[in-house]
Amino acid sequence: MKIPFSQPTIVGTENKSIDLCLKENAFSGGGKFSELCKSEIKRILNRPACEVFMTPSCTQSLEAAVIILGLKPGDEVIMPSFTFVTTATSFSNMGIKIKFVDIREDTLNIDENKIEEAITSKTRAIVPVHYAGVSCEMNKINKIAKKYNLFVIEDAAQGMFSFYENRHVGTMGDVSAFSYHDTKNIHCGEGGSLIVNNSKFFDLSNTAIEKGTNRKKFLEGRVEKYTWVSPGSSFSLSNLSSSFLIEQLKNINDITRRRLDLWSAYMENLIFSTSFDVPKIPLNCQHNAHIFYIKLKEKKERLKLMKFLKSRGISTTFHFVPLHSSPAGKQFGDFVGADVNTTRESQRILRLPIYDAMKKNEVEYVCENLREFFND
């Protein structure tokens, strides 16, 4: 049996919307399908009053957030080191200093109890990253942000259709960023969305997304001239990509249900193993089954297991290498406090195959080989 690590989701109706887009001959950003995606995302998030912008990537959503919130060179932001590189580069590219803090052992999310230690007079924002679609401890994070008058920028790249205390991930910060890369639960190849929850920044958001112009105000008749007024860039997802994405968004319930079934099948098969650890989900979190992983005793054991599973046709992978240990991470950031969990956990984690088209008998095959390797 050959089991790839991942396969992009295909719901089967994407051609219908793509054909309509082709017939309308409208492909750039801001078209009909972009608007449909915005409306559907608002419905999914249950946030009709927020502003949604379709972007080419989660990275560019974060880059837009920097402009919208007015972060400047010399400012500082706090984030976990265990995250994808563009969580950091979205800020470092603008001359903003990164303060990395340790992660929790259970969720691999930023340790909310380590954040205050990293706050200085230059701190402007906290950037929680919802790893594997499991929410960070947002009540504590928002409480800290309010105490120190900081922004909260949610990196929700992996968090579409995940919840924290019945609130959708991506709705609890000032702004948030989602990813629709083809490795995500729903996708359009490459894409993202920026969610603006703080109404104070609605006009600034429209200006930044419109390349720094007042185009939206001009089209609405609120200003007489259409001109360049502030920082901005080309942050719009194409209408063609949106025509693919809308069909996936409309099927998010079914996609998530299938993934949760597979995730649960892994858990049922592996939870009693004493050879490795399985994911731990806090009771106040509802995840989206974006990732299933196990945590091994050490890096060497992980490498041996990966080779063994590969010989059985099973593709696996580890995940982020801590950013603070990278050359650029040392140049553009500092790790505050002790690295108790970040490096250790990053060297233990092994991600197992999970994707929309995967079958339960394939999950069983992976689990059988794991048991054989460990003699469980």
175-218 confidence digits (pLDDT tens): 999 999 999 999 999 999 999 999 999 989 999 999 999 888 88
The fold adopted by the segment(s) 14-250 is: Aspartate Aminotransferase; domain 2 (3.40.640)
DSSP state of 46: T
Q: Which CATH superfamily is domain 252-374 in?
A: Aspartate Aminotransferase, domain 1 (3.90.1150.10)
Q: Which of 357, 186, 363 is nearest to 292 (CA)?
A: 363
* pLDDT by residue, tens only, the chain of 376 residues: 899 999 999 999 999 999 999 999 999 988 999 999 999 999 999 999 999 999 999 999 999 999 999 999 999 999 999 999 999 999 999 999 999 999 999 999 999 999 999 999 999 999 999 999 999 999 999 999 999 999 999 999 999 999 999 999 999 999 999 999 999 999 999 999 999 999 999 989 999 999 999 888 888 888 888 899 999 999 999 999 999 999 999 999 999 999 999 999 999 999 999 999 999 999 999 999 999 999 999 999 999 999 999 999 999 999 999 999 999 999 999 999 999 999 999 999 999 999 999 999 999 999 999 999 999 7
- Tens of pLDDT, residue by residue over 327-364, are 999 999 999 999 999 999 999 999 999 999 999 999 99
Q: Where are the domains of the chain?
A: 14-250, 252-374
Q: Which of 239, 268, 208 is nearest to 27 (CA)?
A: 239
Residues in Cβ contact with 201 at an 8 Å cutoff, skipping those fewer than 6 apart: 68, 69, 174, 175
> Residue 148: left if φ>0, alpha if ψ -120 to 50, beta else—which one?
alpha
Read off the amino acid at residue 171.
T
Q: Rounded to two decimals, what is the model's pTM?
A: 0.96
- The β-bridge relationship of strands 123-126 and 76-80 is parallel
Q: Tell me the residue length of the chain.
A: 376
Q: What are phi and psi of 192, to 5 degrees?
A: -160, 175
Q: Cβ–Cβ contacts within 10 Å for residue 234, how many? A: 12
Residues in Cβ contact with 74 at an 8 Å cutoff, skipping those fewer than 6 apart: 95, 96, 97, 122
